[in-house]
Each structure stands twice: as C-alpha cells, then as structure tokens.
C-alpha cells in the first residue's frame, strides 16, 4: 500500500484542480459536513429510510448517483437542483472554511494561476456555497451538471484539464499536457482515484478520511489540510507550492 515519509518540499505545478467540499460530507476548501448530515437526514426521513444508509455511501459522490441507489424515482436533474439549492439557505451556519483555503485561493487569484473547482455538487450548489463562504469563483469549474459519470470516474478531472488549458478532451493538444504537473486537491477516496486516473498529481487532505484510505486510493501527498499547502510564487504559467506532509512512495 506504500510507505510514508514526512517531509517539506516545494514543487511546481502548471495548474490546480480542487474539489470544493465534495458536497457529500467531503471537505477540501470548506467543511459542510454538519450541513450535509442534516440535509441527508431530512431527505432520509422523508423517504422513511435510515439516514446512515445514505451517509455511508455518499462520500464524494453526486446526489443523482446516490439517489439512483436509494430512491431511483427521485434521480432527476430537477429534483437534484431543488434539494441542493436548499442546502446553503437552510444550513449556512453549519459550514466553515477550512484552514489554509482562503489564503491559497487568494494567492491563486493574485497570481492568475490557472485553476478550477471540480466537484460532485451542481452549478447551483457551487455558486451558492462560495458566495455564502465569501470566496471568489475561478474562471472555470466542473460540476455534476457537466459530466455523465461521477467520481471515481476521471471524466470530471479530464474536463477540468481541458478547461484550464483551453483544449478539447482527447485532442492532440490535450494529450500533450504534462498531467503530472497538474495538482489535484482532494479528500475523498473517490476523488483521489479520479484524479490519479486522469494522470494528475494528487494531494490528499485528511479532513474527512484516514491516511490509510488516502494511500489506498493512490494519493501522492498526504496533508492535514490546505494550511500545509503554501503558495510560494506563481503567475499565469503556474505556481510553486510548499507542501508540508507525507510523500507517498510506491
């Protein structure tokens, strides 16, 4: 499963693709775990099923995929947009920005470094949560509305790559991208697996899952949260990140 060695290193990346909060109790930029637990508990009670049965299968997955398992008759875009739009309105006070997120995003905006949010939430949820948290949106984002297959399928991160570099997935220009120089920030095993399947370097945050789970999913780095990922310098050509954590060797 790989060995871990704690270290501090500075690495250069040409772009950053970051999970948001994963929506389904995953936490990268901010933590909405309490809000999501309340949300799914409400829905589970309405469906007369144990909340634990939903929460145990929801990590980093799209709402529509979860509903296909537990309530197929509700697995529609209309219903998903409706219930996700309610979350920031009903549970904003139950979410919090995670350490290091605000500082890193501020540097990305200052430097003009290419970055995108890649999340299992919908467009409605991304815009609402980022506004509630007082965080700026990147020029590009990939949401559940943009893909057919959710994480751990790499479709979302392939689309993220195409957006930040302005090329079509599968094109000659896309294949020329040095994907190992693109860093994915994730915390859910499904997202880590998706990032690695897209060929990217993955920094895993242990904000919701264990180190062992992150290693098993294929993470290259393991850190406690984004306070361990510091932007040293950068521009439109990329960014230097000082990473304090555990580099996984395989």
**Residues annotated as part of the active site:** 19, 21
- Phi-psi sector, 100: left (phi>0), alpha (psi -120 to 50), beta: left
Read off the DSSP letter of residue 217.
H
What angle, 0 to 180 degrees and rounded to 10, lies between the N-to-C axes of helices 77-91 and 33-47?
Answer: 130
* Two structure tokens written together for 219: 């993470």
What residue ranges in 19-97 does DSSP mark as E strands? 30-31, 96-97
3 state DSSP class of 50: coil
Radius of gyration from C-alpha coordinates of the chain: 17
Cβ neighbours of 99 (radius 10 Å): 13
């Amino acid at each position: 499963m790989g060995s871990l060695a704690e270290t501090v290193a500075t690495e250069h990346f040409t772009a950053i693709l970051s999970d948001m909060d994963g929506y389904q109790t995953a936490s990268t930029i901010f933590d909405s775990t309490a809000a999501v637990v309340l949300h799914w508990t409400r829905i589970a009670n309405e469906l007369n099923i144990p909340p634990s049965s939903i929460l145990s299968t929801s990590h980093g997955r799209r709402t529509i995929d979860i509903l296909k398992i537990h309530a197929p008759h509700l697995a529609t875009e209309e219903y998903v947009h409706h219930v996700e739009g309610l979350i920031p309105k009903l549970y904003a006070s139950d979410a919090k920005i995670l350490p290091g997120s605000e500082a890193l995003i501020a540097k990305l905006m200052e430097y003009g470094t290419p970055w995108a949010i890649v999340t299992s939430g919908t467009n409605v949820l991304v815009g609402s949560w980022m506004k509630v948290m007082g965080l700026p949106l990147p020029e590009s984002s990939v949401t559940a509305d943009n893909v057919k297959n959710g994480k751990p399928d790499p479709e979302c991160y392939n689309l993220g790559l195409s957006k930040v570099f302005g090329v079509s997935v599968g094109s000659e220009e896309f294949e020329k991208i040095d994907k190992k120089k693109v860093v994915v920030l994730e915390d859910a095993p499904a997202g880590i697996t998706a990032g690695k399947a897209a060929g990217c370097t993955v920094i895993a945050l242990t904000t919701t899952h264990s180190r062992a789970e992150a290693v098993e999913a294929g993470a290259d780095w393991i850190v406690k949260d984004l306070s361990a990922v510091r932007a040293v310098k950068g521009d439109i050509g990329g960014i230097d990140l000082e990473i304090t954590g555990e580099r996984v060797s395989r």
